[in-house]
Amino acid sequence: MSTITMTPGRLLRWKPQVDGRGLLTTTVKLVALPAAGILVFLLLWSAGARNIDTSLGQFPGPLAVGEQFGALYTEHQRSREKEVAFYERQRERNARRVAEDPGYEPKIRDYTGKETFIDQIGTSLVTVMSGFLLAAMIAIPLGIAIGLSPGLNAACNPIIQVFKPVSPLAWLPLVTMVVSALYATPDPVIAKSFINSMITVTLCCLWPMVINTAVGVASIDRDLVNVSRVLRLPPLQHVRRIVLPASVPMIFTGMRLSLGVAWMVLIAAEMLAQNPGLGKFVWDEFQNGSSDSLARIMAAVIVIGFIGFLLDRSMLQLQRFFSWDKGTATH
């Protein structure tokens, strides 16, 4: 990952060098080599694509995918225009009816057009962040408690070890049924499908955070704990001043792992459960089976990868910002 990507971290750390040769090597490393890597990939891809024929036509090459990016964006804009027009028409109609009959109460119906690719990206991002934050709110305090108390650790350890390797897709049916049973309001403010996806994400990204936090807390330098004891820090102060800062690097490592897991889990869950999001987009296109479908799926794949990458980088930046131990916050 370190050699072929042009990471923001590298750019930030990059200091122009005075001597010309140094500058040249840096430019080659930062721009030319990654560019060459991408170029070779594109060439291989288009060469490969030309030789693969599927029942939906030829496998899309980079150009076809690029075209679909354009098409997806145009569709999105057109859908927005339609939405605006829809509300406009509705307002006019209501105004007319009120003019004819002053007692008429105007009704506003929601626009129910098909979600565009960009809407689906938004949905997926919101879902993944909600699930992740919910997991963090549970996992970090729990991890701290487990790390501090050997008894609690012994009690929770078997459960954690068993649930950690469970695939999200195994959880999904259970989550769906439980949510349907417990969240049975006729007019839900938050869509059930959103809650299903979110909870599935939460269940899967809980464990890396719990484990890393607990290990971080339990492996605090004995001397630092002794400092706290000599100072007679009360328990809450002990957690706030010693335990939490000392385990921040490990907590963030867990959070980064979790967010990566969360993003992968979410796409799979959306595909399987037909819940709105990028996963559903991919599935719909697959079912659709038009000649553009594969190119559109490929576009989605690239976007999914890119978002995953950006999420990871954002976590890394957060970690850099919060962590005192700059050594742990690399790549």
Partner 1 sequence: MSVLLDISQVGMEFPTNDGPFTALRDVNLKIRKGEFVSLIGHSGCGKSTVLNIVAGLHRATSGGVILDGREVTDPGPERAVVFQNHSLLPWLTAYENVELAVRQVFGKTRGKAEQREWIEHNLKLVHMEHAMQKRPGEISGGMKQRVGIARALAMQPKVLLMDEPFGALDALTRAHMQDSLMEIQAELNNTVIMITHDVDEAVLLSDRIVMMTNGPAATIGEVLEVDLERPRHRLELAGDPRYNRLRARVLKFLHERHGGSPRNDSTSKTSTTRAAADEPAVHEAEGVESAA
Q: Which spans of this chain sit near partner 1 (rule: CB under 8 A)?
A: 146-147, 150, 153-154, 157, 211, 214-215, 217-227, 229-233, 241-242, 245-246, 248, 324-325
- The nearer residue to partner 1, 129 or 215, going by C-beta atoms, is 215
Q: What are phi and psi of 58, to 5 degrees?
A: -70, 145
- Distant-in-sequence, close-in-space partners of 167: CB < 8 Å, separation ≥ 6: none
* CA 230 to chain CA mean position, Å: 43
Q: Which two tokens stand for residue 37?
A: 């890597």
Q: Which two tokens stand for residue 94?
A: 């209501």
Q: What are phi and psi of 60, to 5 degrees?
A: -70, 135
- The nearer residue to partner 1, 200 or 323, going by C-beta atoms, is 323
Q: Are 132 and 262 in contact (CB under 8 A)?
A: yes
- The nearer residue to partner 1, 39 or 154, going by C-beta atoms, is 154
- Give ∠ CA 221-223-225 in degrees, rounded to 5: 80
- The nearer residue to partner 1, 152 or 268, going by C-beta atoms, is 152
Q: Which two tokens stand for residue 23?
A: 């500058």
- Distant-in-sequence, close-in-space partners of 97: CB < 8 Å, separation ≥ 6: 104, 106
Q: How far is the CB of 262 from partner 1 (least distance, A)?
A: 21
- The nearer residue to partner 1, 250 or 269, going by C-beta atoms, is 250
- The nearer residue to partner 1, 13 or 109, going by C-beta atoms, is 13
- The nearer residue to partner 1, 116 or 253, going by C-beta atoms, is 253
Q: In terms of C-beta distances under 8 Å and separation of at least 24 residues, what long-range contacts does 155-164 make, across chains too? A: 160/207, 160/210, 160/211, 163/203, 163/207, 164/207, 164/211
- The nearer residue to partner 1, 97 or 320, going by C-beta atoms, is 320
Q: How far is the CB of 256 from partner 1 (least distance, A)?
A: 18
